[in-house]
């Protein structure tokens, strides 16, 4: 609620500080005393256009500070959080705004710079101002559905859940359909690629194996001729090894003739053994380096094809096997895509049907709630001198494109001010005084569901008196049990219903005209209400009537 309001140098107000409490507070005073200045000042704090004409003559700037005490779950805190302002939920809010005489304005929320746009957003959540030119609140049809649902205690959670499930199923179906369309455009390519890769049959690591084997066979081809010549020198009857053996046999017969011959024979035996080992190694090497020209050609052909296939598909040779599996999977998905789409379409249809059922249940609840609301508002109209008027809650189905988490209905509050007159939106038919009283009737009937914590009614009693004014005061007091209500009034019946009363007065000292506001003590309230009853001269009869009004309240 609004806890305090400080105003400095705004039009006729030099300096003013007001403290408000909960319940109903009345702002009274003679016509022209400056009651509208208070509302203009509060509007400035709540984001209204910064008009340098509001700056008091001779002052450099005007300043307004409004304080609010709100529960931690109040939507204003979410607005501040979205704007990036560091305000803890449940923390008191202080909104300050200055307007310079030469133009321009600045604003702060809890000493943090804020824009006028943010102040306007906060203002819509903090205060409702209902007056002669009200264009927000109950006159905005966009909020009527929420108000009706709150009045009827209708739970939209099931509809919201069903709507999200339907949209998720529809999105999954659409995504799969788009993916299948794209895949089907690639089906010829996939069929050819899978067939080509399947026939080739690449294996992971195959390139390294082929490359190594090819290199070995190429080396054998280069060494084969040299190895053959070496074998010719060693092998055969005329080869070096045969010659060594023959020499060893001859020397064996002569070895006993001299010690040196024995030593020569031993050396020659060792040479024969080494030459034999060399012959064996050469044989093994020849076997290792042996190659089949046909095999070499086949390995080279497959290696070149493997690398060409990898370049074609822009992958590494070792990735071809995985690519073949992936492409085969995509092809299989296309071939089975019809079945998958059918399942997703069935899921979407089921989710849509569930949403329609939930929305139909909500719509039926709205019809019942609308009937109760129409009756409740009708009961409030006659005492407010609107007995010829009729109220109707119109519920219309939205087109498919308008369906959402809140259902399928458009809700709007309509009135007819005279018998036989057509129903139309409130703002298009009701006059200023009628409009304020219609809003009051609606507020009372709605039990203030979905409204701001602070409401201001500006001269809601204009043009009425007596029993109607008493009815207005009684309903404002009833509404004030659920919200903070400030009412600018000329009606003593309304003022008497207030828990507290502020007197707005204008004084001129011969040089400067100033507007002042102060809270009235009980005796002062009695005198002010008597003045409101009698006019310029307060009579004893007016004082007695004022006493009776205060006692009844």
Nearby residues of 270 by Cβ (< 8 Å), 6 or more positions away: none
Contact indicator for 384, 437 with CB cutoff of 8 Å: yes
Pairwise CA distance, residues 500 & 493, whole Å: 14
pTM of the model: 0.62
- H-state helical runs in 46-105: 75-82
In order along its 553 residues, the chain shows pLDDT tens digits of 999 999 999 988 889 999 998 899 999 888 776 777 888 899 899 988 888 888 988 899 999 999 999 888 888 998 999 999 988 888 899 999 999 998 889 999 999 999 999 999 998 889 888 765 454 457 778 889 988 998 899 999 999 999 999 999 999 999 888 877 777 777 778 888 889 999 999 989 988 888 888 887 777 666 666 666 666 667 766 777 777 777 777 777 777 777 887 777 788 778 878 877 877 776 776 666 666 778 878 888 988 999 999 999 899 999 999 999 988 887 787 766 667 788 889 999 999 999 999 999 999 999 999 999 999 999 988 888 888 889 999 999 999 999 999 999 999 999 888 888 889 887 676 566 677 778 888 888 886 455 567 888 888 777 777 888 888 898 899 888 888 999 988 899 999 999 999 999 888 776 788 888 889 999 999 999 999 888 778 888 888 998 998 887 6
The full set of domain ranges for the chain reads 188-331
SS3 500: strand
| Degrees, nearest 5: CA angle 259-260-261 | 90
């Amino acid at each position: 609620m609004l806890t305090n309001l400080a105003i400095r140098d705004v039009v006729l107000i030099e300096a003013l500080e007001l403290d408000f409490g909960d319940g109903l507070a009345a702002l009274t005073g003679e016509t022209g005393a400056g009651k509208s200045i208070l509302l203009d000042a509060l509007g400035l704090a709540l984001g209204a256009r910064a008009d340098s004409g509001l700056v008091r003559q001779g002052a450099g700037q005007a300043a307004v500070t409004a304080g609010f005490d709100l529960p931690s779950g109040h939507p204003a805190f979410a607005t501040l959080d979205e704007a990036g302002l560091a305000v803890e939920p449940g923390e008191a809010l202080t909104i300050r705004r200055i307007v310079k005489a030469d133009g321009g304005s600045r604003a702060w929320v809890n000493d943090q710079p804020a824009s006028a746009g943010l102040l306007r957003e906060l203002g819509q959540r903090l205060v409702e101002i209902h007056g002669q030119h009200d264009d927000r609140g109950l006159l905005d049809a966009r909020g009527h559905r929420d108000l009706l649902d709150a009045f009827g205690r209708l739970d939209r959670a099931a509809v919201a859940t069903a709507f999200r499930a339907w949209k998720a199923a529809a999105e999954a179906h659409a995504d799969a359909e788009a993916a299948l369309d794209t895949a089907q455009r690639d089906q010829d390519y996939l069929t050819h690629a899978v067939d080509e890769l399947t026939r080739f049959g690449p294996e992971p690591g195959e390139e390294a194996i082929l490359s190594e084997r090819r290199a070995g066979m190429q080396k054998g081809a280069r060494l084969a001729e040299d190895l053959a010549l070496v074998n010719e020198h060693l092998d055969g009857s005329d080869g070096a090894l045969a010659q060594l053996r023959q020499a060893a046999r001859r020397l064996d017969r002569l070895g006993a003739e001299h010690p040196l011959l024995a030593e020569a024979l031993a050396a020659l035996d060792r040479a024969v053994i080494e030459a034999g080992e060399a012959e064996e190694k050469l044989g093994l090497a020849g076997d290792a380096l042996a190659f089949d020209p046909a095999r070499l050609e086949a390995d080279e052909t497959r290696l070149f094809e493997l690398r060409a296939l990898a370049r074609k598909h822009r992958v590494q040779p070792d990735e071809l096997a995985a690519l073949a599996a992936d492409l085969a999977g995509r092809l299989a998905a296309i071939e089975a895509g019809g079945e998958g789409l059918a399942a997703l379409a069935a899921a979407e249809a089921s989710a849509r049907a569930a949403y329609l059922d939930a929305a139909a249940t909500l719509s039926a609840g709205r019809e019942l709630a609308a009937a109760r609301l129409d009756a409740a508002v009708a009961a409030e109209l006659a005492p407010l001198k609107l007995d010829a008027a009729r109220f109707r809650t119109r519920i219309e189905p939205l087109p498919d494109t308008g369906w959402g988490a809140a259902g399928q209905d458009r809700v709007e509050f309509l009135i007819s001010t005279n018998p036989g007159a057509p129903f139309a939106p409130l703002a298009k038919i009701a006059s200023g005084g009628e409009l304020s009283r219609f809003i009051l009737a609606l507020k009372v009937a709605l039990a203030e569901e979905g409204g701001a914590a602070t409401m201001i009614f500006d001269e809601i009693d204009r043009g009425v008196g007596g029993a109607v004014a008493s009815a207005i005061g009684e309903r404002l007091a009833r509404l004030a049990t659920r919200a903070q209500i400030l009412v600018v009034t000329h009606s003593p019946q309304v003022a008497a219903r207030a828990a507290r009363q502020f007197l707005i007065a204008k004084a001129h000292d011969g040089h400067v005209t100033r507007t002042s506001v102060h809270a009235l003590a009980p005796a002062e309230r009695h005198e002010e209400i008597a003045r409101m009853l009698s006019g310029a001269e307060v009579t004893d009869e007016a004082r007695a009537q004022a006493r009776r009004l205060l006692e009844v309240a």
